[in-house]
């Protein structure tokens, strides 16, 4: 049987050379013929802790041998590795199945101030999704731009687009995907409840802007970002600035 060993990337040069020598001896003791071109081998032995994706190996049998665990029992470990060899595609079948069965969530958050509730709701969404074992990516659109931008690949994988915003935002890249809209405060304070609704009520986004009654009710119930509070603070700062200016004029006179 012809075997090919991939280069080990996790060992120092000196240790790697010694390991290679022992590996050759172990292969010969097991009556394996070592070749130095992957396409000539019957089995490719990946010297790593996991199988790396390589399209050149697709029609080959792959065995996994971890140098860190096999160093002192190399002959036995090599034989076990060969016995457990699988066709390249089989190594990734379980991972692909796991990915297929996992919910993929993308979310967008935004509020008028672009600060507090934008990022707090984003964190609440991400934390809840992860606690459920879902794959999640949340794009927080703050006052200095978008953070953690959702890519076209993320959108393609998404089972649900969860939109928690209090202002109109561009959602065109999500066209054709199931979408649920709510407010930032609802997503922050009632995360589980909103996700339950999302899976039941999400509708395919067509790119048309619609104002739904239930969205309006949510905003009334949970409230938008603190716009009024922000306005009051701005008014207070203006009054304070005028007062300081008058005080300085008085002191200079």
Q: Strands 33-34 and 43-47, how do they pair?
A: unpaired
Give the whole-angstrom CA distance, residue 197 versus residue 212: 15
Angle value at C-alpha 68, between 63 and 69, nearest 5 degrees: 70
225 is a catalytic site residue: no
Which two three-digit tokens encode residue 56? Answer: 């050149």
- Using alpha carbons, list the distances in angstroms from residue 125 to 39, 109, 193, 205: 48, 9, 11, 20
Question: What is the DSSP code string of 121-147?
Answer: HHHHHHHHHHHTT-EEEEEEEETTEEE
Question: Among candidates 124, 150, 118, 119, which has minimal Cα distance to 224?
Answer: 118
Catalytic residue among 74, 85, 107, 111: 111
Question: Among candidates 62, 109, 66, 49, which has minimal Cα distance to 89?
Answer: 62
Is 42 within 8 Å of 61 (Cβ atoms)?
A: yes
Which two three-digit tokens encode residue 88? Answer: 């390249």
Active site residues: 111
């Amino acid at each position: 049987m012809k075997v090919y060993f991939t280069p080990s990337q996790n060992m120092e040069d000196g240790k790697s050379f010694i390991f290679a020598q022992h590996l050759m001896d172990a292969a010969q003791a097991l009556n394996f013929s070592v070749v130095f071109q992957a396409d000539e081998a019957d089995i490719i032995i990946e010297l790593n802790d996991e199988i790396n994706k390589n399209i050149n190996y697709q029609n080959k049998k792959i065995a996994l041998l971890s140098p860190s665990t096999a160093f002192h029992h190399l002959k036995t470990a090599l034989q076990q590795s060969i016995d457990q060899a699988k066709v390249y595609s089989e190594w990734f079948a379980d991972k692909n199945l796991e990915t297929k069965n996992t919910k993929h969530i993308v979310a967008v958050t935004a509020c008028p101030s672009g600060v507090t509730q934008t990022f707090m709701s984003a964190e609440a969404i991400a934390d809840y999704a992860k606690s459920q074992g879902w794959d999640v990516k949340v794009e927080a659109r703050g006052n200095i731009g978008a953070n953690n931008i959702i890519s076209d690949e993320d959108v393609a994988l998404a089972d649900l687009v969860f939109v928690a915003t209090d202002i109109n935002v561009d959602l065109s890249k999500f066209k054709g995907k199931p979408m649920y809209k709510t407010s930032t405060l609802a997503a922050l304070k009632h995360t589980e409840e909103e996700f339950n609704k999302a899976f039941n009520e999400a509708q395919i986004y067509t790119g048309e802007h619609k104002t739904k009654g239930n969205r309006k009710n949510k905003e009334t119930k949970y409230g938008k970002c603190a716009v009024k509070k922000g306005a009051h603070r701005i008014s207070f700062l203006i009054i304070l600035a005028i007062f300081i200016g008058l005080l300085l004029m008085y002191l200079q006179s």
